[in-house]
């Protein structure tokens, strides 16, 4: 019998002491939490821009349904859009900066949503979201 081991095997004692590791290490938990925090940060920063875009697109779609407004002058169309923006609490947007109007003989104007938003994510890292969509009456 080998000295110091009860069962005669020098590996037997090591197997009794070895246990399977269960759970996650602190480093893995910290890495997972960091990734979740980053995803939440991006979602909270970019989410409002997409909500704003959906409102702008809805205003543009509603505009395409109003043929009398589209056949008026360009300044009146932009004024109508600005009024819709203020009604929907889009105070920092201007119609001329977000919607392009192209003259069309039959419709009056073709409406295109075209703008971008820039927001600071972390320190000197910015996220730019670009919205470009030609709008038709749905």
Tokens (6 digits) for 96: 């001329």
- Could you give the percent of the chain with pLDDT greater than 70? 83
Higher pLDDT, 19 or 62: 62
**Distance in angstroms (rounded) separating the CA atoms of residues 98 and 26:** 47
Higher pLDDT, 4 or 81: 81
Q: Mean per-residue pLDDT for 50-77? A: 93
**Distance in angstroms (rounded) separating the CA atoms of residues 124 and 121:** 8
Tokens (6 digits) for 44: 């909270």
- What does the pLDDT read at residue 71? 87
> Could you tell me which of 92, 20, 102 has the C-alpha nearest to residue 56?
92
Q: Mean per-residue pLDDT for 27-34? A: 93
Tell me the residue ranges of DSSP E strands in the chain.
Answer: 99-104, 108-122, 125-135
- pTM, entire model: 0.74
**At residue 46, what are phi and psi to the nearest 5 degrees?**
-95, -30
pLDDT single digits (tens) 71-103: 899 999 999 999 999 999 999 999 999 999 998
């Amino acid at each position: 019998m080998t000295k110091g081991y009860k069962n005669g095997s020098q590996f037997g004692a090591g197997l009794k002491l070895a246990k399977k590791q269960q759970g996650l290490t602190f480093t893995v938990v910290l890495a997972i939490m960091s990734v979740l925090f980053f995803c939440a940060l991006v979602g909270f920063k970019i989410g409002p821009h997409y909500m704003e875009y959906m409102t702008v697109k809805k205003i543009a779609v509603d505009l395409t349904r109003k043929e009398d407004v589209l056949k008026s002058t360009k300044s009146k169309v932009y004024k109508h859009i600005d009024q819709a923006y203020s009604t929907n609490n889009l105070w920092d947007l201007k119609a001329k900066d977000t919607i392009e109007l192209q003259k069309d003989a039959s419709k009056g104007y073709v409406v295109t949503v075209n703008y971008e938003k820039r927001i600071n994510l972390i320190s000197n890292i910015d996220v730019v979201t670009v919205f470009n969509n030609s709008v038709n009456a749905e």
